[in-house]
Structure 1
Amino acid sequence: MYKVVVDYEPKEADNDVLREGMLAFNEKIVGERDKPFSIFLKNESGKIYGGVQAFLGSESVYIDLLFVDEALQKQGYGTQLLLAVEQEALKKGCVFSLVDTWDFQAEAFYLQRGYKRIGELKDYWLGHSKIFLRKNLKKV
């Protein structure tokens, strides 16, 4: 007998069981598993002020999040981080980059750096839209 249990403070290990199950299922279908990696913006003492969490596949990189501390925004660090992700993806043979953002976050940032809007889910969360973007990394 199984039961459905709601848990507002799940253990990381419990969530890992779910994630691993889904990743293993996907891997059976597509033949690969995306590889997570991070790039950090640190000061001389090693304190983190921003960074990127992303996932590499054989043909694409998915940018899960890109963050720069508010005090350092508008100084080019976001662009440096994005370029670092794209360069890493190119080294690994990726041909395109994917990212999603909220309508109140960074769509203009990505558009200014060559990303194209490929979709939008309107009124997705508290009246805000989720926007999906893609950039071809290799010149045709």
Structure 2
Amino acid sequence: MFRIEAEVDNRRRDLLRSRLRDSNTEASPVLRALRGTPAEHELPLHLWALDETGTLAGGLVGHTWTTWLHITYLWVAEPHRDEGLGSRLLTRAEHIARTERACRGARLETWDFQAPRFYRRHGYRTVCAIPDYPPGLTEYTLIKPLG
């Protein structure tokens, strides 16, 4: 007999994540070869674009893991859009991932109202589309080989 609880519990969340990572590492020859947990090989990659006053004009937040760059956030302030800043941030992140971290691919998620066309112009291709996530929107997963 089990009791199921629905409550936010960060201690249990961390324990569950640790146990899942241990199970995944044990089951995967690729992860076992890394010698350590996946989190130990995850390196943050943050880029910040500041205007002449030092105000945040845009940024990219992601991380690299094994041979992949994962872009979590890419944002440019409205007054600086259509100036190429987003392209510069993306290109710089890909360059760092490829040349300094030996990444061979990049991945990200975006919604249909955000920037799928922007990423496609930069060589990304859609590998997954989830319609109605959330209702009325489509979420896309895109990838790009980094060469």
- Please give the range of the TM-score, normalised by the shorter of the 2 chains: 0.7 to 0.9
Give unmatched runs, 5+ long, in structure 1: 7-13
- Matched AA of 1:98: R
Aligned partner of residue 133 in structure 2, secondary structure: strand
TM-score using structure 1 length: 0.81
1:130 aligns with 2:125: no
Match of 2:46 in 1: 38
CA-based RMSD of the aligned residues comes to 2.4
Answer with 23-32 or 56-65: which moved more.
23-32
Give me the identity figure in percent: 27
Is the alpha carbon distance of 1:46 and 1:26 closer, same or farther for their aligned partners in structure 2, counting shifts above 3 Å?
farther
Match of 1:68 in 2: 76
Superposed CA deviations along residues 100-135 of structure 1, whole A, max 9, x for unmatched, are 100111000000010011110011112100001000
- CA distance, structure 2, for counterparts of residue 17 and residue 41 of structure 1: 37
Paired residues, number: 131
1:22 aligns with 2:17: yes
Is the alpha carbon distance of 1:2 and 1:130 closer, same or farther for their aligned partners in structure 2, counting shifts above 3 Å?
closer
1:103 aligns with 2:112: yes
Superposed CA deviations along residues 39-60 of structure 1, whole A, max 9, x for unmatched, are 0011234321110110111210
Give unmatched runs, 5+ long, in structure 2: 26-30
Aligned partner of residue 103 in structure 2, secondary structure: coil
Report the CA distance between 1:19 and its aligned residue: 5.7
Report the CA distance between 1:26 and its aligned residue: 2.8
- Matched AA of 2:6: V
1:5 aligns with 2:44: no
- CA distance, structure 1, for counterparts of residue 67 and residue 78 of structure 2: 32
Which of 117, 121, 126 is equivalent to 2:130? Answer: 121
- CA distance, structure 1, for counterparts of residue 78 and residue 91 of structure 2: 19
Superposed CA deviations along residues 65-91 of structure 1, whole A, max 9, x for unmatched, are 100001111110000000011011012
Which structure has the highest helix share of the two? Answer: 2
8 A contact 2:110–2:116 mirrored in 1? yes
8 A contact 2:45–2:93 mirrored in 1? no
Which protein shows a greater Rg?
2
Aligned partner of residue 85 in structure 1, secondary structure: helix
Is the alpha carbon distance of 1:20 and 1:130 closer, same or farther for their aligned partners in structure 2, counting shifts above 3 Å?
farther
1:49 aligns with 2:65: no
> Where in structure 1 do 4 or more consecutive aligned residues deviate above 4 Å?
14-17
TM-score using structure 2 length: 0.77
Is the alpha carbon distance of 1:36 and 1:127 closer, same or farther for their aligned partners in structure 2, counting shifts above 3 Å?
same
